[in-house]
Structure 1
Amino acid sequence: MKRLLTCLTCLALVLPVFADEARETPLFSTEGYRLGRYRSPTPEHAPFAHTLDTSQLQTQLKQRPDTLLIDVYRRQWLHGRFVEDEPHSNLPASLWLANTGDGQLPPAWQAYLTDNLHKVTGGRRDRPLVFYCRSDCWLSWNAVKRAATLGYTNLYWYRDGIDAWAQAGLPLLPARPVEFPAGHAAP
């Protein structure tokens, strides 16, 4: 009983600190990007894109073979390079633009996203783009919102991402993020 009271006393002292932290750290920026707690329940739809489930994505890929898949899963960045801290696989034919779904993108990461989207679309802002990450992941929500802000008009959000694809028994391939081009200002 004494141990239980000690634990409850500790909790009573610590909880107000966590509550103060939660009040001080907003979940969204003034521009509407999710700033943290990226792995938490997401909304049913993104207002700037069509939300797809796995069967709808398969149909999209069959009907529009020019659809581009953009994986925005995070990868550790250290000393000017991506560090493979864990294996990552994504949907076949995907472009992995790591770390571009963060709520606040420093200028170098913004340029990395902007330049790569321009390159793969050939400057066509109406090219179908499907953004994804994992299930319950705000990174893809942020990234598709950012693509809309950049003027891309044919956007899709594969809300449950890699997890739903794997759960459906569909193939995933080992992936590597697109590197910063030589001479490009990396963060």
Structure 2
Amino acid sequence: MVALALAAWAATAATAQDVAEPSDYRMDDYRAPVPATLDRGTVIDAEEAHALWQTGEAVFIDVLPQAPKPEGLPEGTIWRDKPRPSIPGAVWLPNVGYGALADVTADYFRAGLDHATAGDPDRPVVFFCLADCWMSWNAAKRALEWNHSQVYWFPDGTDGWAFQDFPLEEIKPFPTP
């Protein structure tokens, strides 16, 4: 079983080498092989992410989307958001990794990023989601465009983190204003 998982992991890593970094945001098909680079950002693996996490110097931003509560549920229906096991201490900013953001979502992203970094655009920040998720790449690219200077992209996300048996904890989304 472990051998199969390692083989799948190696195949994914090899595929990433073949994906060209686009000049603009990824606009669709967000769960697909990602590039191995992020212009002006630093790409890190699970061990490097863990080392940054252990120092406590970097802020970790989880951008996994969150499914909205379906409209038209019958009265009395109980709705529970899907739990998000993530890197301990991470700030979850769901839905900010799409290629095009509505103004309200961009404002939410800026507010969450400002909160997480205490308004310091030079504070190291690590963006992640799941493996093969363009949302974290888009979010990291956007932070760079917003003049954050130490942007790290962790393309293996919580999949790579869990694979290394690093701790996970359930987190809740950063509140909307």
TM-score grouping bracket, smaller chain normalisation: 0.7 to 0.9
Question: Distance in 2 between the 1:131 and 1:122 partners?
Answer: 16
Matches within 5 A, 1:1-187: 32-62=24-54, 64-78=55-69, 84-181=80-177
Question: Distance in 2 between the 1:150 and 1:79 partners?
Answer: 33
Question: Distance in 2 between the 1:114 and 1:168 partners?
Answer: 31
Q: Structure 2: which 5+ residue stretches go unaligned?
A: 1-21, 72-78
Question: Distance in 2 between the 1:113 and 1:166 partners?
Answer: 26
Runs ≥4 in structure 1, deviation > 3 angstroms?
Answer: none
Structure 2 length normalisation: TM-score? 0.78
Contact 1:76 1:84 in 2 (8 A): no
CA RMSD of aligned residues (A): 1.9
Say which one has the larger Rg.
1
Question: Distance in 2 between the 1:48 and 1:177 partners?
Answer: 28
Report the equivalent of 1:5.
Answer: none
Residue 85 of structure 1: how far off its partner (Å): 4.4
Structure 1 length normalisation: TM-score? 0.74
Q: Give CA deviations for 1:55-90 in whole Å, capped at 9, x if unaligned.
A: 11122233x42210000000023489xx74432210
Q: Structure 1: which 5+ residue stretches go unaligned?
A: 1-29, 182-187
Q: Secondary structure at the match of 2:152?
A: strand
Aligned-pair identity (%): 34
Size of the aligned set, in residue pairs, is 149
Question: Distance in 2 between the 1:31 and 1:115 partners?
Answer: 26
Residue 179 of structure 1: how far off its partner (Å): 1.7
Contact 1:71 1:94 in 2 (8 A): yes
Contact 1:125 1:153 in 2 (8 A): yes
CA separation of 1:169 and 1:42: change in aligned 2, threshold 3 A: same
